[in-house]
Structure 1
């Protein structure tokens, strides 16, 4: 029987432990860096979609745009950190903002689609990932060698 024993230097083990602590404490900051890229672009795309391609003058009340925002970071039962950019519910008339956003995105029989979600996703995907990488790298570099 062969037997192998690997001994790691204490400094390496200590730096792994420190990096692990940084990763646990920086999830919120990293996710918020990503949403800082997504939310402004979504707001701009929604603003451009409101009133576009309509036969009649826009009847926008501004409620959908005002409801757009970012949630706080939440941890689910599996330990995953989540943050969402979306719409607060409900409107003053009781209708769901998600329904209104869906009509904008996909249209209906008497209203053409005015997508703003899909373009936001394609426009911000790389930028959000890069912003999160940069935030995480900055946090890890604080740990030091």
Structure 2
């Protein structure tokens, strides 16, 4: 059987030792910082596609845009922490915000797709990671 050993950088080990039992407090704050970056990109993409390229005047009420938000960080049954960028429910007209966002993203018969979520995901990936690294560094410095 082969054996491999890795030596971690001293600076990284010092940061890990400082975390101690504070990890469960720090992780949600770091993830929420990244979620806010993605939310801003989704919001700007959504604003640009609502009402664009339609034959008739836009009937947008602004309800979909105002329903956009970031969930708080939650731990799933596997022990992983997650945040979600999405739409709160319900709408005043009884329809689902998720359904309307899906129709905008993927289109339907007679309505061309206007993707806003997938481009936001790929465009904000680096900025999201940078924001989370920065938030992590700040949290470690506080300790």
Any unmatched runs of 5+ in structure 2?
1-12
1:21 aligns with 2:42: no
Residues 14/103 of structure 1: CA separation in 2 closer, same or farther (3 Å cut): closer
Shift of 1:81: 1.4
CA distance 1:129–1:108, change in 2 (3 Å): same
Deviations 1:47-96 (A, max 9, x none): 11101111111111111111111111212222221111100012112211
> Which whole-Å deviations, capped at 9, do the CAs of 1:16-74 have from their partners, x for residues lacking one?
55323232320111011101211111111101110111111111111111111111121
SS, match of residue 91 in structure 1: coil
* Residue equivalent to 1:86: 86
Hey, what's the Cα distance between the residues in 1 that align with 2:15 and 2:97? Answer: 47
Between the aligned partners of 1:78 and 1:17, the Cα distance in structure 2 is 24
CA contact (8 A) 1:31 1:83 kept: yes
Alpha-carbon RMSD: 1.9
Query: 1:14 offset after TM fit, Å?
Result: 9.1
Number of aligned residues: 131
What is the TM-score normalised by the length of structure 2?
0.82
5 Å-filtered alignment, 1:63-102, equals 63-102=63-102
- On the 8 A contact 2:73/2:83 being kept in 1, the answer is yes
* Structure-1 residue corresponding to 2:133: 133
Which aligned runs of 4 or more in structure 1 are off by greater than 6 angstroms?
A: none
Aligned residue for 1:5? none
- Note closer, same or farther for the CA distance 1:91–1:16 as it changes in structure 2 (3 Å cut): closer
> Corresponding residue for 1:7?
none
* Structure 1 equivalent of residue 50 of structure 2: 50
